[in-house]
Amino acid sequence: MGRRESSLRSKDKESRERCQAIGREVRIVHHREGEYPRVLNSPYAKLVECDANRVLVGILNRSHADVPLPDKRVRQALNLAVDCQKVIEQGLGGYANPICALTPSWCGGFPADAQPYPHDLGRAKQLLDEVGWPSGRNLRLAAPAPFAGIAQLVAGDITAALGIDVDIMLVPLEKMLAGARALAEKKLSLPWDMLITGWFDLSSEAPPAAVHREFFGSDGAFRAGPELPAFDELYTEMTRQLDGSKLVQAAEQIDRYVFEEALALFLCAPKALYAVNKHVSFGPYRTTFELAEAEVDDEHWSRTKKEGQAFQAAPSPPSEPLRFVSGSSGNAC
């Protein structure tokens, strides 16, 4: 394809609007989940979705002495209390897949017998009652401002199932970097008990190397709480494997351990969404944005315009506030 026909990715708001409104110049745009209705209603663009190596989770802070999050039963109760399917349908428009722990079902290292935590209110309350929760102590739930709707869904389920009131702390975009640094450096006390965030993996092989380690490893940027010797032992064993099949088995063991210990609130694996010109065929990858499977058809403007005809793009539509942006490092979701 020539220069004008080449497909491109853009996070720029103007490019996204041009793809939806005029159908020229911009071919493929990596889209934000909350904006998909505009694409579905566009006469020029179509929505292409792809299962992606991404996870949306609630990091659980095990360092606070006044709440029992170090107790596995409380962490399990939280996972049983939250209706993850509702989060997928109402929070992400259905554009996500259930997860058991941190390994999506299509990746190497996914345990074949794994099943997500069920939405079981009775069992959730039973587990919490075995441990107890301090009277008058609200659970502090933090989330990037764009994840406000998801935070409200999670908070509502926790209160309804466990009787724990939840304070939602929305982090504005301009303060996200400082918050991420505080979590990574682990020098300051964190103000939250749970942080909703996302992460991604650029490979489908051995996800613990890029995902699980970041959340739970001794050197993990997202670990909130004391080190986990059992996890570190399993991870060290995985890094020693030279045989591919043994590497996968070790990765499965890590994912199973993370699930059984309920080390996070496991929500879902959001899909990658792309706004694509209706005359462009695009086959997305689960790992990274690639254009190897992209081409235009005979009705695309670049093939139908007359020789020498000057390209004149229509004016961009008026700008609007962003409704949904990535709420995690690395544009995870």
Q: What mean pLDDT comes out for the span 28-57?
A: 75
Tell me the H-state helices in 35-120.
36-40, 72-81, 84-86
* 227 membership: H or E segment, kind and range: none
Q: Is the pLDDT of residue 251 over 90?
A: yes
CA 120, 125, 130, 136 torsion: positive or negative?
positive
DSSP tag of 311: P
Q: Mean pLDDT, to the nearest integer, of 179-198?
A: 92
Task: State the pLDDT at residue 38.
Answer: 77
CA distance 288 to 286: 6
> pLDDT grade, residue 35 (50/70/90)?
low
pLDDT at 46: 83
pLDDT at res. 296: 77
| pLDDT at res. 108 | 85
What is each CA distance from 204 to 97, 242, 254, 291, in whole angstroms? 16, 17, 15, 18
Class of domain 54-270: alpha beta
Tell me the sheet residues that pair with 45.
277
Mean pLDDT for 12-25 is: 51
Q: pLDDT value at position 329?
A: 34
The pLDDT assigned to 19 comes to 54
| pLDDT at 288 > cutoff 80 | no
Mean pLDDT taken over the chain: 82
H helix runs in the chain, sequence order: 13-21, 36-40, 72-81, 84-86, 121-131, 148-162, 176-185, 212-216, 229-239, 244-260, 301-304
Mean pLDDT of all residues in 86-97: 94
Cα dihedral across residues 3, 5, 6, 9: positive or negative? positive
Residue range(s) occupied by CATH 3.10.105.10 in the chain: 54-270
Provide mean pLDDT across the span 314-323: 39
Helix (H) or strand (E) holding 55: strand 54-60
- pLDDT the model gives residue 137: 96
Contacts of 94 (CB under 8 A, 6+ apart): 88
Q: How far apart are CA 283 and CA 321, in angstroms?
A: 29
Which percentage of the chain shows pLDDT scores above 70?
A: 77
The least confident of 31-45, 90-104, 205-219, 243-257 is 31-45
The alpha carbon dihedral of 113, 117, 119, 124 has a sign of: positive
Residue 128 reports pLDDT greater than 50: yes
pLDDT by residue (tens digit) across 198-243? 987 777 678 888 899 999 999 999 999 999 999 999 999 999 999 9
User: Is the full-model pTM beyond 0.85?
Assistant: no
pLDDT(282) > 90: no
Is 167 in contact with 193 (CB distance < 8 Å)?
no
Highest mean pLDDT among 19-33, 71-85, 97-111, 241-255: 71-85
